[in-house]
Amino acid sequence: MKAFASLYWRLDATTSTTEKLAALTDYFHAAPDDDAACAVRLLSGGRQSRGVSTTLLRQWASEAAGIPLWLLEECYAQVGDLAETLALVLPGGAPPAATDGRGLAAWIRDTIEPLRDADDARKQEIVRDAWRRLGPEERIVWHKLITGGCRVGVSRTLVAKALAEVAGIDAAVMTHRLMGGIGDADDYRRLFSPEATEADSQRPYPFFLASALDEPAESLGPATEWQVEWKWDGARVQIVRRGGGCAVWTRGEELATDSFPEIAADAAALPAGTVLDGELLAAREGALLGFAALSRRIGRRRATKKVLADIPCVFVAYDLLEDSGHDIRGLPLGERRRRLEAVGLPVFPSGDARLQLSPRLDADTWADLAAARATARDRGVEGLMLKRLSSPYGTGRTRGDWWKWKTEPLEIDAVLLYAQAGHGRRAGLHSDYTLGVWHDGRLVTIAKAYSGLTDAEIVEVDRIVRATTLEKHGPVRICSPTLVFQLAFEGVSRSTRHKAGVAVRFPRIVRWRRDKQPADANSLADLVALIDAAASPGAVP
């Protein structure tokens, strides 16, 4: 644990890529394989689960420190990082020379994993024992581990580069091998094989990501130099058909073969040595059912017969990454598209076929494409994708070759109801907002927003929040409804998990409506009307 904590603080202390690479390389050179495997999972964005609630941690820390809970909450509001706050208020701790000598893997095995299934009394024993064994800096890292929030400023690409340097192999090969995750020490050791391994056969390629278009489309040059498609409102996946197997991988590097067995079954008929990049869509007879329907399948490990019947899905392919076992990502998109079309998939929407081809939009001018983009929301899609015909298939979010030209967001005016202090550089300022709209003469919450205001506006809003606070519940303040904000979001759907009965996607504040009073804000009926307007998106031609 001491070695991983030291790595964490070395990474946290610098913004230099060279220094971060050196820290990673030093760690992987020295770490035991089981510790290194755990570190790779954590540093490359692997899913982290929470072993104990932050509510219990706060309570136990206030008891151990002999201070009231409200004082700890005030400290948290000022520090802005819960893991650090707890470490600062806790008494004592092991001196540096006497800290527990177990490595990262042992700490995860002996403390974090048992926390998940233990009752509260046992959890408290484990936590208090860890506090006695760890020094302050190690405690901070351990707190982040047990709450599922251990993140530091390194990218998967940088982790792969460090591992490649240690292994003496090409960084691109290492990046590919990291896809799908690292489970244990054996998986970690296989990363260093100079030859292709059995595990390599079913791994996807690193996904190429588009950037949001924040300039006029005309600035990209002639429209004829770009491949244009609809931007689907689905789940990005790769289908890997190699050897005798077939796998469906999400962009989050989770194996989703069992979640979409009908897609995998049809993909098994593809030629061996084929890797397709595309989108999973919920659709019935060519009509899109929307992301809300698809989301009911994404979180399932296995799809039941009822789910398969209620939420049929199709895979829409828009790129070919491997052809007859050859990696063709370096070829121009125009050539990859020609080979993709040669695979013989029907163009979406096409009957009941589960594997289909993403259609291209034929237009010679940006004006024609802008007109098509204006119809996107009515069609149930998010806008247009612009892909340079001469571009290779890259890794990560490389600007310049793939752009997402999304529709203008939906917008409403909402009232600030609750505010909570932010974290990091916004510690001590109320910058996390809960917003509401009118329903039956009262305000009901419909979204939380954490971005959109300038630093100066946040300071001003913080002053108003403090002056209009009606009640305080820990770090949350219930405010008198006085402020109106213009809220933008990508979509809205009915939801049984929210009190208002609706859920908005990717909400953010566009501007502070100083010209409006709370009575001028929108109503829940306005949101429902937006849902009804998009209730039956048609098939995309």
Q: Which of 151, 205, 210, 148 is nearest to 178 (CA)?
A: 205
DSSP helix/strand/coil, 147: coil
Q: What is the largest CA-CA distance in the chain?
A: 71
Q: Are 465 and 430 in contact (CB under 8 A)?
A: yes
Region of 92 (left: φ > 0; alpha: ψ -120 to 50; beta: rest) is left
Q: Which of 422, 463, 462 is nearest to 77 (CA)?
A: 422
**Token pair 């149930």 in the structure block, residue:** 380
- Residue 147's identity, in one-letter code, is T
Burial of residue 65 (number of CB atoms within 10 Å: 0-12, 13-18, 19+): middle
Burial of residue 212 (number of CB atoms within 10 Å: 0-12, 13-18, 19+): exposed
Under 8 Å CB-to-CB from 417, ≥6 apart: which residues? 434, 435, 436, 443, 445, 478, 479, 481
Tell me which of 2, 20, 231, 406 is the catalytic residue. Answer: 231
Distance of CA 155 to the CA centre of its chain: 14
H helices present in 191-312, as ranges: 261-267, 291-298, 305-310
Q: What are phi and psi of 130, to 5 degrees?
A: -65, -40
Tokens at 345, concatenated: 């998939």
Q: What are phi and psi of 229, to 5 degrees?
A: -135, 170
**Residues 256, 299: Cα–Cα separation, whole Å:** 10
Burial of residue 159 (number of CB atoms within 10 Å: 0-12, 13-18, 19+): buried
Under 8 Å CB-to-CB from 355, ≥6 apart: which residues? 239, 263, 266, 267, 270, 276, 314, 315, 317, 345
Strand partners, 36: none
Q: What are the C-alpha distances in Å from 432 to residues 76, 83, 111, 346, 449?
A: 15, 19, 32, 47, 6
Contacts 24+ apart (CB under 8 A), 93-101: 93/131, 93/132, 93/134, 93/135, 93/136, 93/139, 94/132, 94/133, 94/134, 94/135, 95/135, 96/135, 99/1, 99/2, 99/133, 99/134, 99/135, 99/138, 100/1, 100/133, 100/134, 101/2
Annotate 233-249 with DSSP letters as a single string.
Answer: SSEEEEEEEETTEEEEE
| β-bridge pairing 402-406 and 211-212 | parallel
Instruction: Let me know how long the chain is.
Output: 541
Told to judge if 231 belongs to the known catalytic residues of this protein, a careful annotator would answer yes
**Residues 413, 366: Cα–Cα separation, whole Å:** 32
Catalytic residue numbers, as ranges: 231
